Amino acid sequence: MGGSYGSTLRYKSVQRLKPIGKHTLLGAGGEISDFQEIVRYLDELILYDNMWDDGNSLGPKEVHNYLNRLMYNRRNKFNPLWNTLVLGGVKNGQKYLGTVNMIGVHYEENHVATGFGNHLARPIFRDEWHEDMTFEEGVKLLEKCMLVLLYRDRSAVNKLQIAKITEEGATISEPYAIKTHWELEAFKNPATGAVGSW
């Protein structure tokens, strides 16, 4: 959660996860207004898709490709949508997870991240992710990574949401906090052993 204002985390209740249609979930990092614009484009896309009313529907792969076209074309016009997008979904039993960013770089992977997550979380995923994780194991792994990010990012806030998508649809949890520990010895008496007049 959280919307930044430059390097400050100014808005602490902005939801950066959105369900798209029946089969997809979209998450974003970067410029919130651009993300809102992207969601508007996708709402229109899904609307027209639903209007066909013919049993066909756009799945996560199709939405991902559409977003890639969108981001890449804006980049080519030197007017990018300043976001990194994370997109996942399930359709007809097929799981999908991918990412696309403001310059149009896109790929599918078992674990994706935006911003500092790429540096702090992905290495943990590489070690600890494996096929056939249960949902609970997945959440634990995610929380572990979010904890690292919380400790290390000076403008993070202890408030996160977990979203789950299955064949039946998407659910986004209510925001919650994770337990952090600040009772390190060095914090208790910071002045102990310090040389100086004060």
Residues that bind other proteins (rule: CB under 8 A) add up to a total of: 13
Give whichever of 6 and 55 is closer to other proteins, judged by the CB atom.
55
Give whichever of 108 and 143 is closer to other proteins, judged by the CB atom.
108
How many CB atoms are closer than 10 A to CB 194? 8
| Among candidate residues 29, 27, 7, 168, the one with its CA nearest the CA of residue 98 | 27
Helix (H, G, I), strand (E, B) or coil at 108: strand
Give me the 49-68 binding string for other proteins, x by CB under 8 A, dash otherwise: ---x-xxx-xx-xx-xxx--
Give whichever of 61 and 144 is closer to other proteins, judged by the CB atom.
61
Q: Go through the chain and tell me how many residues it has.
A: 198
Give whichever of 9 and 45 is closer to other proteins, judged by the CB atom.
45
Q: What are the start-end ranges of the E strands in the chain?
A: 3-5, 8-11, 17-20, 24-30, 83-91, 94-101, 106-108, 163-166, 169-172
Q: Decide if residue 69 touches other proteins (CB under 8 A).
A: yes
Query: Residue 93 CB, nearest distance to other proteins (Å)?
Result: 12
86-115 residues near other proteins, rule: CB under 8 A: 92
Rg of the Cα trace of the chain? 20
Applying CB under 8 A, which residues contact other proteins?
A: 52, 54-56, 58-59, 61-62, 64-66, 69, 92
